[in-house]
Amino acid sequence: MLNVSNFSVTFDNTVVLNNVSFTVPTGETLAITGPSGIGKTTLLHAICGIVRTSHGTVHVDNVDISSLPTHKRGIGLVSQSGDLFPTMTVSQNIEFGLRISHVSKTDRATRVEELLTLVGLSNLARRHVAELSGGEARRIALARALAPRPRVLLLDEPLSGLDKETHDSLMNDLARVVKQTATTALLVTHDHSEAAILAASTIELTR
């Protein structure tokens, strides 16, 4: 379960988020919508510790993680661009978080194979990410975020910029993967149809 309570973020005396509160039950997905510039991405970054809040707390499974550094929060993030490492292969990207956590080589290989199968790209393990299509890159970014088994997954416009066929295919795959892994997820999207398909409920950020 993810609980965000009275989150506020201020940049240069400008209030970006003001007392945002919500709860995402374990294994469910909550969609966050709202106009561009309203602070949706900032909210995700604050939850995972990239951005510092001026007020508020975040709890995961009833544990306050507000003061923990990003790498100790147990939260996975998929950004709009995916942010894959361009000089690495697909498998190296997926295992990155496992490697820095000192997971054994054998266990890393097993986890990579499991996730590639999950996202339907088991034949691409040795391919460099520069050779991937847009949809393939998004699937690998999802696999990489899931690799360390995060307690919460944050998805920042994961389907933006894709053609309709790729968008719809990936949307169905994303719904399947999140459900199959019973992941607690927070989805940022401007698309209300995406929110309706991928999330159990939706809230809209406003000023």
CATH of the domain at 129: 3.40.50.300
How many Cβ atoms sit within 10 Å of the Cβ of residue 48? Answer: 20
Give the tens place of pLDDT for each residue, 113-160: 999 999 999 999 999 999 999 999 999 999 999 999 999 999 999 999
User: Angle at CA 179, nearest 5°, toward 177 and 185?
Assistant: 90
Expressed as residue numbers, the domain containing 7 is 2-204
Q: In what order do the strands lie in the sheet with 201-204?
A: 75-78, 152-156, 184-188, 29-33, 201-204
Query: What is the pLDDT, as a whole number, of residue 199?
Result: 96
Query: What is the pLDDT, as a whole number, of residue 5?
Result: 97
Low-confidence spans in the chain with pLDDT less than 50: none
Inter-residue contact 157 to 188 (CB < 8 Å): yes
Query: What is the pLDDT, as a whole number, of residue 80?
Result: 83
CA 185/CA 28 separation, integer angstroms: 6
Instruction: Provide the domain count of the chain.
Output: 1
